[in-house]
Amino acid sequence: MSRIQNILEKAERDGSVRRIRGADPLPAAAPPAIDGAFYQAPPPVVIDDTIGIDTIGIDTIGAPVPTSPVRAVSGTRLDRRLLAAIAAESVAAEQYRALRTRIFHADNGAAVHVVLITSPGRGEGKSLTASNLGLTMAQDYQRRICVVDADLRHPQLQRLFGLPDGPGLSDVLAGEATLEEALVTVEDHQITILPAGRTPARPADLLGTTAMRRMLETLRSQFDRVVVDAPATMPLADVGILTPLVDSVLLVVRSGTTSKPAIHEAVAAIDASKLLGVVLNEAA
């Protein structure tokens, strides 16, 4: 936690951590600057590589196990903040590709097949980070990528990708739909989404089931990479339930909004051996 505190204090001294009031959520691109632990661009994604992200060889992944046909959609109306798809040549999209590369090189060579994205609280950009990260993985490496909406209380992926209504994760876990029925392939971008589905009465109970563990194992066998958009760490227990099921965790925070105590509490709630790093959103 002291490393994160040092990073944020450095950012404050440099003026890179502050609230941007009244700014367009899609600011004009500017040349990126690399400064120590920070790697910035608007909408800026700052990658902290002081928490176990080392430069090593990319692991080799064999051909995925063939999967049953899933629902396929085309011509969907993507949210304009999915810059990895809408503005793939932008500086911001390049920063998501840099994040993807860091993950591929991470964890001392161990395979990072399933990565969980979380944040200390709501509204800090974790769903956008998970979506853009998944898109860059699918685009640049032509691999089979699945993004899972495990934030059953506040799902975002169906709206971000413009998907039609249908079954999702909660329906699969409740035994009301098969995994094949719930998966949706966005053909235009060669990415598969598992939406959240209907909001259950007790989300944590579903996420803690054997069915959730088995479902993630199935996705491991069918996709090269799985990105899990998880709930916020506080005050819920969901991330603690999901962390043992994934390989690595990225924590997303928003400059000028996420407090240091909130970051410290979030880090304390995550298994330190699985925490890859911190993504700082909206740093100028």
DSSP characters for 103-154? HHT-GGG----EEEEE-SSTTSSHHHHHHHHHHHHHHHH---EEEEE--SSS
Residue 242 to residues 32, 150, 237, 246, 250, Cα–Cα distance (Å): 34, 9, 9, 7, 13
Looking at residue 108, its pLDDT comes to 57
Checking if the pLDDT of 135 tops 80, the result is yes
Lowest mean pLDDT among 3-7, 36-40, 204-208, 250-254: 36-40
Exposed (0-12), middle (13-18) or buried (19+): which is 180, by Cβ within 10 Å?
A: middle
Looking at residue 283, its pLDDT comes to 55
Label the pairing between strands 184-186 and 45-48: unpaired
With bands split at pLDDT 50, 70 and 90, how would you rate the model's confidence at 138? very high
Provide the greatest CA pair distance for the chain.
Answer: 53
The pTM (predicted TM-score) of the whole model is: 0.78
Lowest mean pLDDT among 90-99, 101-110, 211-220, 273-282: 101-110
Higher pLDDT, 229 or 62: 229
Return the SS3 of 213.
helix
Looking at residue 18, its pLDDT comes to 31
- The values of phi and psi at residue 221, to 5°, are -75, -20
Lowest mean pLDDT among 3-12, 53-62, 120-129, 260-269: 53-62
Alpha carbons 10 and 154: distance in angstroms, whole number = 33
Mean pLDDT (the chain) is 78
Looking at residue 210, its pLDDT comes to 95
Residue 253 to residues 16, 27, 173, Cα–Cα distance (Å): 13, 18, 29
Checking if the pLDDT of 83 tops 70, the result is yes
Alpha carbons 198 and 173: distance in angstroms, whole number = 11
Alpha carbons 40 and 20: distance in angstroms, whole number = 15
Checking if the pLDDT of 163 tops 90, the result is yes
Looking at residue 58, its pLDDT comes to 25
Looking at residue 62, its pLDDT comes to 38
Over residues 235-243, mean pLDDT: 87
Label the pairing between strands 225-229 and 114-118: parallel
Both tokens assigned to 21: 């009031």
17-31, 46-60, 265-279: which is most confident: 265-279
